[in-house]
Copies of this chain bind each other. A is one copy, B any other.
Amino acid sequence: MNHQEILTSYIAAFVSELVNIGVEDVVVSPGSRSTPMAMVMAEHPELRVHIHVDERSAAFFALGMAKASKRPVAILCTSGTAAANYFPAIVEANIARVPLIVLTADRPHELRDVGAPQAIDQVHLYGNHVKWFVEMAPPENSKDMIRYVRTICARAASTAKRSPAGPVHLNFPFREPLIPQLDTADLFELTERSAGYVSIQAGEYKLTNEEYREIGESLRSYKRGIIVCGSIEAEGFNDAVIALAERLQFPILSDPLSQLRSGSHSGTYIIDTYDTFLKNEKAKQFLKPDVVIRFGAVPVSKPLTIFLKENSDVRQFVIDGGAGWRDPGMVSSEMVYCHETDFCRSIISYINKDNSLSYFEKWEKINQLTRKNLAKVNEIDVLSEGKLFYQLTERLPEGATLFVGNSMPIRDLDTFFHFNHKSIRIMANRGANGIDGVISTALGAGTFLQPLYLVLGDLTFFHDQNGLIAAKQFGIDINILLINNNGGGIFSFLPQASHPKNFEQLFGTPLDLKFQSVVEMYGGHYELITSWEHLSSSINANKEKPGLKVMEITTNRDNNIQEHRELWDAVSREISQLLDGKC
């Protein structure tokens, strides 16, 4: 066998295994060193190859696909800084527990650290931001090395998927010539499989029945318990946690990413305005818990984080199937590493139904009062950020996916997006909370989830404008609500806002951009929204249009902080009135 045949059989074995273990999509950024892998991948009939020139956006696009499809997605690039551009999305995938299989082509060993072009040190390139790194053996096609490459592929996919999911990195040294031999009839033939290639079955962390019983029985004694749910992907979890809440009569403080704020269930136990009312001292006293059960990622809400911290004297369980350490406030008294759905279903049988609703009703009452008051945002006539988020439940179609940017949008969503029956799936990049790669992640999600709405600010839009090309190249439908307050709106909420010197330069950072131009460059439909009626008609009209649609809503950072404060103050006053003398 010559060099090219060996190269081809080694790579074909890898690619066929990749498909075998369930990878259906690969995002490829063009390059020379990755030529053999790219060309072999393009030959596989069951693998979708998506070409994305900017590796930063490409990796976020793959992240979005993996989040939406709940399957590992592979990314492939050439050697050099191309691979370094993957880094932000890899960091996010690692913390957000999203399975990515990162494939980088590299120079062979003799061309490393000797000034060869496009050669950088790619060994452990992403440090401990990947779950697993393998410096692949140079292509060989002995029986053992074919089994090796298949085995590594299976292990990589299993490692990426296994809880906690995350990215893995395989670095492939390829020697020239780089052109594979594609005229082989049986490129991906898998007769060797009968020879016993490994399959990997991975379980989940589970406690023993005895351990579940102990927890269940201990929970009986608490009368003032709360459940907190952050972003979580465990199958069957939502129904299980609602059943548990009902049995315990505990309210569920539901982060926007918990997927509990929309759905066909009754919504009885869903508390969705705590971000607002937990700013109020009296409410916090009134609602003081005696036990806390947390699931999923750390919630978005800072008032909730503070509330949990202020109650660090009570038992606080953190249930984590990924065995991480999700406890920035150092408040957890018990870390419980087991599958979250299994936990809910298992402990429920050890808990008797309790009809003393009084504590749950307190939460319900405050939540309803807060909802009613926040609804006043609707009375604002001018275009405002809070009202936009308040109206989303009404404006978005049934079954929509709503992707939100970081900084202000996710926080406004937390404040203003309340329980509804529309089954709206909410997504965001909340692993590392970056403003980078948001457009790309949303578009990646959009290949699986439609209709798709993305709400983000102007700096976040600017950061990943290059990501828009995916909408054009792959014909993905997306409705973007671009909130343009000409700069970093969140800083107006931070202490530096009271230090006007250099504030605009360092934090306000207005870009003064007319985004219409870039939208049109990508063949998108652009509208500058001028009124609430205009927004309604645009959202409706855009439902019929394919491709990229951007509705720009210009707001004012100073008015925005003013509106938020007035609303929060009003809620706080009402709560204080209600509770005066009660705590």
Tell whether A517 pairs with B521 under 8 Å between CB atoms, given A81-B434, A121-B128. yes
Which residue of B39, B437, B473, B501 contacts A496 across the interface (Cβ within 8 Å)? B39
Min distance, Cβ A17 to any Cβ of chain B, angstroms: 21
Copies of this protein in the assembly total 2
Quick check: A82 and B434 within 8 Å, CB to CB? yes
- Does A6 lie at the interface of the complex (its beta carbon under 8 Å from any beta carbon of B)? no
Q: Specify the chain B residue showing the minimal Cβ separation from A460.
A: B53
Quick check: B51 and A506 within 8 Å, CB to CB? yes
- Does A463 lie at the interface of the complex (its beta carbon under 8 Å from any beta carbon of B)? yes
Min distance, Cβ A26 to any Cβ of chain B, angstroms: 11
**Residues on B with beta carbons closer than 8 Å to the beta carbon of A178:** 495-496
- Does A118 lie at the interface of the complex (its beta carbon under 8 Å from any beta carbon of B)? yes
Min distance, Cβ A497 to any Cβ of chain B, angstroms: 10
Task: Point out which of A115, A325, A520, A522 has the most chain B C-beta atoms below 10 A from its C-beta.
Answer: A115
How big is the A interface, by class? 35 or more
- Does A8 lie at the interface of the complex (its beta carbon under 8 Å from any beta carbon of B)? no
Quick check: B53 and A462 within 8 Å, CB to CB? yes
Min distance, Cβ A28 to any Cβ of chain B, angstroms: 7
Min distance, Cβ A475 to any Cβ of chain B, angstroms: 13
- Does A507 lie at the interface of the complex (its beta carbon under 8 Å from any beta carbon of B)? yes
Min distance, Cβ A442 to any Cβ of chain B, angstroms: 16
Cα distance A54–B54 in the bound complex, in angstroms: 14
Min distance, Cβ A506 to any Cβ of chain B, angstroms: 5
Q: Can you give 21 A-B contacts (C-beta < 8 A)?
A: A30-B488, A30-B509, A43-B502, A53-B511, A56-B85, A80-B432, A81-B434, A85-B87, A87-B87, A91-B120, A110-B330, A113-B325, A120-B432, A121-B128, A178-B496, A182-B501, A465-B465, A469-B511, A515-B521, A517-B521, A518-B518
Residues of A within 8 A of B (CB): 28, 30, 32, 35, 38-39, 42-43, 49, 51, 53-56, 80-82, 84-85, 87-88, 90-92, 95, 110-111, 113-121, 124-125, 127-129, 177-179, 182, 297-298, 324-328, 330, 432-434, 436-437, 459, 462-463, 465-466, 469, 473, 488, 490-491, 494-496, 499, 501-502, 505-507, 509, 511, 513-515, 517-518, 520-522
Complex A-B, nearest 5 residue pairs according to Cβ-Cβ distance, in ascending order: A81-B434, A116-B328, A115-B326, A517-B521, A115-B298
